[in-house]
Amino acid sequence: MTSYLLKRILMLIPLMIGITLITFSVIHLAPGEPVEMQMAMNPKVGKEARERLTKFYGLDKPLHEQYFSWVGKLAKLDLGRSFSSDGRPVLDKIKERLPVTISLNVVALVLEFGLAIPIGILAATRRDTWLDKGITVFVFVGFAVPTFWLALLLMYFFGVKLGWLPISGLHTLGSDNWGTIPYLWDLAKHLIMPVMVASFGSLAGLSRYMRSAMLNVISQDYITTARAKGLPESVVIYIHALRNALLPLITLLGFSIPGLIGGSVIFETIYAIPGMGQLFYQGVMSRDYPVVMGILVIGAFLTLIGNLAADLCYAVADPRIRHGEG
Partner 1 sequence: MVLKYTYFYSIFWPRLKRNKLALVGGVVVLALFLISLMAPLISPYDPNEINAWHVLSAPSWQHWFGTDELGRDVFSRVLYGARISLKVGFVAVGIAVSIGTVIGLLSGYYSGLVDATLMRLVDIMLCFPAFFLILAVITFLEPSIWYIMMVIGLTGWMGVARLVRAETLSIREMDYILAARCIGCSNARIIFRHILPNAISPVLVAATLGVAGAILTESALSFLGIGVQPPTPSWGNILTSGKDYIEFAWWLSLFPGLAILMTVLAYNLLGEGIRDALDPRVKR
Question: What x/- string results for residues 241 through 270 when contact with partner 1 is judged by CB under 8 A?
Answer: -----------------xx-xxx-xx--xx
The reply on whether position 303 binds partner 1 by CB under 8 A is yes
φ, ψ of residue 81 to 5 degrees: the values are -105, 150
SS (H, E, C) 139-194: HHHHHHCCHHHHHHHHHHHHHHHCCCCCCCCCCCCCHHHCCHHHHHHHHHHHHHHH
Under DSSP, the state recorded for 68 is: H
H or E stretch covering 27: helix 2-29
Total residues at the site for partner 1 (CB under 8 A)? 53
Residue 27 as a binder of partner 1 (CB under 8 A): the answer is: yes
The closest alpha carbon to 111, from 194, 220, 16, belongs to 194
Nearest distance in Å: CB 143, partner 1: 6
CB 124 within 8 A of CB 211: yes
Is 81 in a helix, a strand, or coil?
Answer: strand
CB nearer partner 1, residue 11 or residue 239: 11
Establish if 63 lies at the interface with partner 1 (CB under 8 A): no
Candidate ranges 11-19, 50-58, 223-231, 316-324; the one touching partner 1 (CB under 8 A): 11-19
Q: How far is the CB of 44 from partner 1 (least distance, A)?
A: 23
Minimum distance from residue 108 beta carbon to partner 1 (Å): 15
Size (the chain), residues: 326
- Is there binding between residue 107 and partner 1 (CB under 8 A)? no
Structure letter (DSSP) for residue 232: -
81 bridge partner residues: 89
DSSP-derived 3-state class of residue 60: coil
From the list 238, 267, 253, the residue with the least C-alpha distance to 205 is: 253
Q: Which stretch binds partner 1 (CB under 8 A): 29-37, 86-94, 180-188, 236-244?
A: 29-37
Q: Quick one: which of 260, 324, 262 has its CA closest to 110? A: 260
Q: Does 198 bind partner 1 (CB under 8 A)?
A: no
Question: Which H helix or E strand runs over 30?
Answer: none
Would you say 248 or 258 has its CB closer to partner 1?
258
Distance in Å, CB of 76 to partner 1, minimum:
22
| CB 84, min distance to partner 1, A | 14
- Position 15 contacts partner 1 (CB under 8 A): yes
Which segment (63-71, 73-81, 96-104, 300-308) binds partner 1 by CB under 8 A? 300-308
Contacts with partner 1 by CB under 8 A lie at 14-15, 18-19, 22-23, 26-27, 30-32, 34, 37, 140-141, 143-149, 152-153, 155-156, 160, 258-259, 261-263, 265-266, 269-270, 280-281, 283-285, 287, 289, 292-293, 295-296, 299-301, 303-304, 307
